[in-house]
Amino acid sequence: MLLHSLLLSALFSGGLDKPQSILLIHTNDVHGQVLPRKATWISKDQPPLIGGLPRLAAHVRAERRKAAEQGRSMLVLDGGDCYQGTPEGGIDNGLPFVIAQALVGYDAMAIGNHDYDHGIDNTRRLLTRGNAPFLCANIRQRSDGSKVEWATPYRIMELAGLRVAVVGFVTVDTPNISHPETRTLEFRDPARELSELKPELERQKVDWVLPLTHLGIERDRDLARAHPELVLIVGGHSHTYLANGTREGNTLIVQTGSKAGAAGHVELEYRRETRSLKAVSARLVDLLEEPPAADRVAAVDTICEALVRESDAIMSAVVGEALAPIERTRDNTRSGSAGNWITDLMRSYSGADLALMNRGGIRTDLRAGPLTRRDCYEICPFDNNLVVLSMPGSEVETLLRRCVESRNHSGVELSGGRVQLRKSGEEVQLVGVLVGGAALDPARVYRVAVNSFMANGGDAYFEAGKSFPRQEDPILMRDLLCEMLGREPRTKAATDNRYEMVTP
């Protein structure tokens, strides 16, 4: 009787149902970041160096050691977009960097849209030769709806007495924002795909389903609303810096920003007797310190050092000087000086009537001072060349209307024209376009300079299947910037706003 009372007392006091502690470390959108970068958002005058893959690897190694000493379970995940974005990441189409990132010790990694940027065969090569645990559950062959044999949908692991299924998802927008070959694949709705997977996971006696996504914060919220039983979603794609995560209903959603500047830590508790799991807290650890030698991962350091040596001989060359900062904007009704600078150079180089640049293709800001080839690479890192399209004015207007009136686009920067807008509440309406100071003529054919990503249908700025006469120039966008700086090394980006708000 006494023993029975003691057991009941222990049960209700938590003795038999003591929570098992789980530490989850996560990253996303590393984008080939080998070197630490200047954290100008912390201090513009004296920015500290933050992040980089070697620091991240050392941090994970130190946390694994602590977890082992404390008898805690630990899981390490990445939300996709591994290699594309730096000279080092782009070497051999990303393979050396993916190998190095896998050596950080990830248990699972999502496939991001930019991990397709060199075509499907290269993605398969990264998956098979990179030794990285990539996952993606929502892609099919468009021809017959069959699963692709090279993409593992989920991985089941034992953790603190739990059977955990980590399920990978990538954005359904991938065919519009990556290599054209991705249009041979079908990227299915993650919420529907997860519903179809659940019976299979139940048959395998899974206790915890953990989506690992490259969807962006808003699509993660949609997934959480569709599946309110989810405890946690580890995300990526929108580069959202969530200092303590965010909740949608009972679901905690986490992201770390981008570029390996921070490692995310999520503390979870699992009670075996009651089979309950909860996410207790989330925080981001900014990687601002050089790690001690004992924590460094020699294999990661060795690969990264070799990548830097290979790229630095070319990328460290000074090609010009910025007389003022060159900065992006996220406001669809304003021009950024970075967009003005790039489109002005595109128009000057090509002699086009108008130049357009998708804002999603402008990947960093540049400080005033010397500009190197590395700076030109990092602001335009994708392998896009210059294309001049012959477009009727009516089609130019349709494109610009789609950019400003739709919320599904990052917007465009432009040179050679102005866009006139009217705003009513949250709605923005295009009311006019000027080219060369004159009203756009719907019947006139204009020469419009764009990058090949846009020309090939990227970001869905053109109607599906629509094409225009085109003149290809093999020069890559980043090389165009270097070329134009060679002609006029001292540069100052225009700061005028090429989006004009008009009153009714």
Residue 12 is predicted with a pLDDT of: 44
Going from the first residue of the chain to its last (504 residues), give the mean pLDDT of each consecutive group of 10, the final group possibly shorter.
Answer: 39 60 97 93 89 98 96 96 93 96 98 93 95 96 90 94 96 88 94 97 96 97 97 96 96 97 96 86 97 97 96 92 95 93 97 96 94 95 93 95 81 95 88 95 97 87 81 92 95 96 81
Q: What is the pTM of this model?
A: 0.80
**Is it true that domain 317-501 has CATH number 3.30.950.10?**
no
Residue 8 is predicted with a pLDDT of: 40
* Residue 503 three-state SS: coil
Strand order in the sheet with 208-214: 154-159, 162-170, 208-214, 232-234, 251-254, 246-248
Q: How many Å separate Cα 203 from the centre of its chain?
A: 34
Residue 10 is predicted with a pLDDT of: 41
Contact yes or no for 220/179 (Cβ under 8 A) = no
Dig out the tokens for 241 from the structure.
């810096």
Residue 17 is predicted with a pLDDT of: 66
Contact yes or no for 175/208 (Cβ under 8 A) = no
What region, left, alpha or beta, does residue 161 occupy, with left being phi > 0 and alpha being psi -120 to 50 degrees?
left
Residue 14 is predicted with a pLDDT of: 46
Residue 73 is predicted with a pLDDT of: 95
Same fold? 17-310, 317-501: no
Residue 504 is predicted with a pLDDT of: 67
Selected from 3.30.365.10, 3.60.21.10, 3.40.140.10, 3.40.50.720, the CATH number assigned to the domain covering 17-310 reads: 3.60.21.10
**Single-letter residue type at 291:** P
DSSP string, 10-57: HHHHTSTTPPEEEEEEEE---TT--S-EE-TTT-SSSPPEE--HHHHH
Contact yes or no for 279/208 (Cβ under 8 A) = no
- Sequence ranges of the domains in the chain: 17-310, 317-501
| Numbers of helices and strands, H then E, in the chain | 14, 28
